Amino acid sequence: MKRTINMTTTMKVGFVTLCASIACSTPFESSVSQGVWVESDYQVSFNQACPVDSIFQDTLQLQYGFGDSSSYEDTGGFYSTSIDAIQTYREDLWGICSSRDANAMFECDVPVILTHYDAWKETFPVEVTSAETGCIVSAEYGYSEGLFIDESTIRLVNYLEVVCYTDSESYNSLRTCSGTISSLWTKQ
């Protein structure tokens, strides 16, 4: 009987398997971030003194943009307790976020939800206290983690702590909101 297994076939088995293995993986391309992303599907968990469930609703229709995608690996740190400064980045998230391992997961040096603070602050307990007492609102601690699920979906988790100080020197807090907000972003 004539065998049809030759050296070429034997080597092809190896190369085809190797190529198929590599093809099974989809690397992340930062260009996926381009476009307008709309936030929805909020899930929140805050300290008891800070009820926020009614604030974060799909009706907010918050929109984000990442800006220049070539800087998505820029891990230069951003730190500011000024919410006004943070809000300048809602269309330029790669300015405060980066992908440390150049993959589909990114981290932001401040809670991304704060870039739209003015849009939802009206009934935010800390802001209410500030309006009542004149205390100073400050973003004390926080960051965000995001993941590109696919080319049109992002999962994002915000970790934040916002406090209202009686004055800028004593750091006595009249109210603190500390918690986590997760959401779904969809490309528009």
Partner 1 sequence: MIVLLCSMLVAFGQNPELVDDDTVSKIDSSTDSPENLDGKQVEEGEDTVENKDVSEIAALLPVSLRLVNGIVLTGSMNLQDIVRWSPTSDAPVSLFLESGTTQSIDASQVDAIVQGHDASFDDMDSSTKRIDVEESQEAPAGANDDVAKLENPSVSGEFSFINPAASRYLYAPSSIPLQQGQGYVSQKILFTSLAFGVTDNVTLLMGTLVPIPLISVVGGKYARQINSDWHVAAGAEVFFLPFANTVSSNVPSAPLSIGFVSATYGDLDSHITFATGVMYEQIFSNGNVVHPIMIAGHKRMSDRLAVVTENWVLLNPDSLAEQRSPYVGSISSLAFRLVGRRDQTYQVFGQLITDNGYPRYTWDFGLVVVSTSIPSTLYDPVTDTTHYSLYSDVFNVGPMPWIDYTWHFGPARQP
Can you give the binding site for partner 1, defined by CB under 8 A? 1-3, 5-7, 9-11, 13-14, 17-18, 20-22, 24-28, 43-45, 101, 103-105, 145-150, 155, 157, 180-182
CB of 37 to partner 1, least distance (A): 15
Residue among 119 and 184 whose Cβ is closer to partner 1: 184
CB of 75 to partner 1, least distance (A): 16
The set of residues, in sequence order, having a beta carbon less than 8 Å from that of 143 and lying 6+ positions away, is 107, 108, 109, 110, 111, 158, 159
Residue among 71 and 182 whose Cβ is closer to partner 1: 182
Residue among 20 and 169 whose Cβ is closer to partner 1: 20
CB of 71 to partner 1, least distance (A): 19
Give the burial class of 98: count Cβ atoms within 10 A of its Cβ; 0-12 exposed, 13-18 middle, 19 or more buried. buried
The 3-class secondary structure across 35-68, one letter per residue, is CCEEEEEEEEEECCCCCCCCCCCHHHCCEECCCC
Whether 149 contacts 158, CB under 8 Å = no
Residue among 42 and 117 whose Cβ is closer to partner 1: 42
CB of 173 to partner 1, least distance (A): 24
Residue among 154 and 164 whose Cβ is closer to partner 1: 154
CB of 55 to partner 1, least distance (A): 15
Quote the CA–CA distance of 146 and 108 in Å, as a whole number.
8
Quote the CA–CA distance of 139 and 117 in Å, as a whole number.
11
